[in-house]
Structure 1
Amino acid sequence: MELSSEQLQRKVEAVEFAAEELLIARRQLVESDKSRNGTREALTALRRQARTSKSSVLSSESDEKICRTCGDSDGSRPVWSLCPGADVFVRLPFHQVHCNLERVFPAQVELETDVNRLQSTVKEKTFLLSEKGAIADVVSPSLVESFVKLKDRH
């Protein structure tokens, strides 16, 4: 079947539009993943400095509460921290730095759902491009379909 130039142009435009949406979703996925991992890495680095783990320090039920991140280490010891939204490093007490990071941590749940949504979008857009034949020479449509149907069981 011979395609007219107008039909071919419409198909190419549809493929280009779908490819652009895929690239945008991938960029958003990378940015969200960087943000999510940055906070997690910073908290892990602070726990290593204090030689504690997430569950190694139990808070006591007495009047004196023990910080789960600081543990037995000196919470007033200054550490360098990057100010959010600025390219400035400041020296703040260890306890204040990890408390600030842990306040941001609930936003991690939102980032996690955003990353999962974007991963699904990338899979869907890749599958649509594959069906249109745009990446058929690289990956077969049946293989892409199997990846799309693949479930992550964490």
Structure 2
Amino acid sequence: MKGLEGTSGKQLVKEICPTCGDHDPKEDTWLMFPGSDIFARVPFHVAHTVLDKDQERLDYDTKKLQSFVKEKSFVISEKGALADRISPGIVKSLVSLTDKPK
């Protein structure tokens, strides 16, 4: 972008992000990388892009874990291990619930 700046120092091309809208590309923010104690000063757009990708990965892992728990609960329910305490129908209905906000 440095090559696109005019002589007046005003930016000729304005960056517009679908998430954060108009932003100052020189605005830095502190970001702590996941799984480490390292902080980095990165542009705001980079910070929210990294966080968006982490959220996608977290959503994927959550769905994978929910399906694993559901599968194991069905196996336990079908074997009758919980039949004396909880009926298999209740276990199936509890596992099929999702915790999405309304």
Q: Aligned pair in 2 of structure 1 residues 95, 147: CA closer, same or farther (>3 Å)?
A: closer
Could you list the runs of 5+ residues in structure 2 that have no partner in the other structure? 1-12
Tell me what 2:25 maps to: 75
C-alpha distance in 2 between matches for 1:89 and 1:78: 12
**Percent identity of the aligned residues?**
46
For 1:73-117, what per-residue CA distance to the aligned partner results, in whole angstroms no more than 9, with x for missing partners?
A: 433222110124421222222123224445x36x82x66455434
Q: For 1:132, which of 66, 79, 98 is the aligned residue?
A: 79
How big is the alpha-carbon RMSD for the aligned residues of Structure 1 and Structure 2?
3.4
Tell me what 1:26 maps to: none
Q: Aligned pair in 2 of structure 1 residues 73, 145: CA closer, same or farther (>3 Å)?
A: closer
The letter for the 1-side match of 2:16 is I
The letter for the 1-side match of 2:78 is E
> Which structure carries more strand by proportion?
2
State TM-score, norm by structure 1.
0.40
Tell me what 2:40 maps to: 90
Could you list the runs of 5+ residues in structure 1 that have no partner in the other structure? 1-62
Once the two structures are superposed, the pairs formed by residues 32-47 of structure 1 within 5 Å of their partners are none
